[in-house]
Chain A
Amino acid sequence: MERAWRDHWGRLLALLASRYRRLDLAEDALADAFEAATRRWPADGVPGNPAGWLLTTASRRVLDRLRAEAVHARKEPLLVVDHDVHRAEQEQATDPAGGTAPGVPDERLRLVLLCCHPALSVESSSALALRLVIGLPVPEIARLSLARDATVAARITRAKRKIAAAGMPLTLPAPERLGARLDRVAEVAYLAFTAGYVPAPGPQLHRVELAGEAIRLLEITRELAGPSAQVDLVLALMLLQHARRDTRQDPRTGDLVLLPEQDRRRWHHDEIARGTALLACWRGERLAAPDRARLLEAVIAAEHATAPTAADTRWDRIADAYAQLEQLTGSPVVRLNRAVAVAEAHGPQAGLHLLAGLDAQLPDSHRTAAVRAELHARLGNHGLARAAYEEAIGRCPNLVERAHLQRRARLLSE
Chain B
Amino acid sequence: MKYLLLMYGDESHWDTAPAEERERIMRAHQDFGRAVAERAQLLGGEALAPADTTTTLGPDTGSGRAVTDGPYAETVEQLGGFYLVEAADLDVMTELCGQLPGYYTLEIRPALELG
Closest beta carbon of chain B to A23's beta carbon, Å: 14
B89 CB contacts on chain A under 8 angstroms: 80, 167-169, 171
What is the bound-complex CA distance between A165 and B94, given in angstroms?
15
A117-153 residues at the B interface, CB under 8 angstroms: 117, 119
A75 CB contacts on chain B under 8 angstroms: 113-115
What is the bound-complex CA distance between A75 and B113, given in angstroms?
8
- A165-B88 contact given A73-B115, A75-B115, A80-B1, CB 8 Å threshold: no
Tell whether, in the assembled complex, residue A169 and residue B91 are in contact, meaning their CB atoms are under 8 Å apart: yes
Closest beta carbon of chain B to A117's beta carbon, Å: 8
- How many A-B pairs have beta carbons closer than 8 Å: the answer is 34
Q: Does A201 count as interface, using CB distance less than 8 angstroms?
A: no
A119 CB contacts on chain B under 8 angstroms: 90, 94
B85-103 residues at the A interface, CB under 8 angstroms: 87-91, 93-94
What is the bound-complex CA distance between A169 and B88, given in angstroms?
9
A77 CB contacts on chain B under 8 angstroms: 113
Looking at B1, B3, B88, B89, the one whose CB has the most chain A CB atoms below 10 A away is: B89
B108 CB contacts on chain A under 8 angstroms: 166
What is the bound-complex CA distance between A75 and B91, given in angstroms?
23
Closest beta carbon of chain B to A84's beta carbon, Å: 14
Tell whether, in the assembled complex, residue B110 and residue A167 are in contact, meaning their CB atoms are under 8 Å apart: yes
Bin the interface of chain A by size. 10 to 19
A356-381 residues at the B interface, CB under 8 angstroms: none
Q: Which of B90, B114, B115 lies in contact with A167, CB distance below 8 A?
A: B90
A117 CB contacts on chain B under 8 angstroms: 90
Q: Does A173 count as interface, using CB distance less than 8 angstroms?
A: yes
Q: Which of A165, A169, A173 lies in contact with B110, CB distance below 8 A?
A: A165
A169 CB contacts on chain B under 8 angstroms: 88-91
Tell whether, in the assembled complex, residue B113 and residue A167 are in contact, meaning their CB atoms are under 8 Å apart: no
What is the bound-complex CA distance between A167 and B5, given in angstroms?
14
Tell whether, in the assembled complex, residue B113 and residue A80 are in contact, meaning their CB atoms are under 8 Å apart: no
Q: Mark A165-199, 1 if CB is under 8 A from B, else 0.
A: 11111010100000000000000000000000000
What is the bound-complex CA distance between A166 and B88, given in angstroms?
11
What is the bound-complex CA distance between A167 and B89, given in angstroms?
5
Closest beta carbon of chain A to B86's beta carbon, Å: 11
What is the bound-complex CA distance between A77 and B1, given in angstroms?
10
Looking at A73, A77, A80, A173, the one whose CB has the most chain B CB atoms below 10 A away is: A80
A73 CB contacts on chain B under 8 angstroms: 115
Q: Residue on A with the closest CB to B108?
A: A166
Q: Mark B8-23, 1 if CB is under 8 A from A, else 0.
A: 0000000000000000
What is the bound-complex CA distance between A77 and B90, given in angstroms?
14
What is the bound-complex CA distance between A103 and B91, given in angstroms?
29
Tell whether, in the assembled complex, residue B88 and residue A80 are in contact, meaning their CB atoms are under 8 Å apart: yes
A171 CB contacts on chain B under 8 angstroms: 89, 91
Q: Which of B87, B90, B112, B114 lies in contact with A168, CB distance below 8 A?
A: B90
B93 CB contacts on chain A under 8 angstroms: 167
A80 CB contacts on chain B under 8 angstroms: 1, 88-89
Q: Residue on B with the closest CB to A76?
A: B113
What is the bound-complex CA distance between A166 and B94, given in angstroms?
11
What is the bound-complex CA distance between A117 and B93, given in angstroms?
14
Given contacts A77-B113, A166-B90, A169-B91, 5 further A-B contacts (CB under 8 A): A75-B113, A75-B115, A80-B88, A167-B1, A173-B91
Closest 4 pairs between A and B when the two form their complex, measured CB to CB: A169-B89, A167-B1, A80-B89, A75-B115
- What are some 17 contacts across the A-B interface (CB < 8 A)? A77-B113, A80-B88, A80-B89, A119-B90, A119-B94, A165-B112, A166-B90, A167-B1, A167-B3, A167-B88, A167-B93, A168-B89, A168-B90, A168-B91, A169-B89, A171-B89, A171-B91
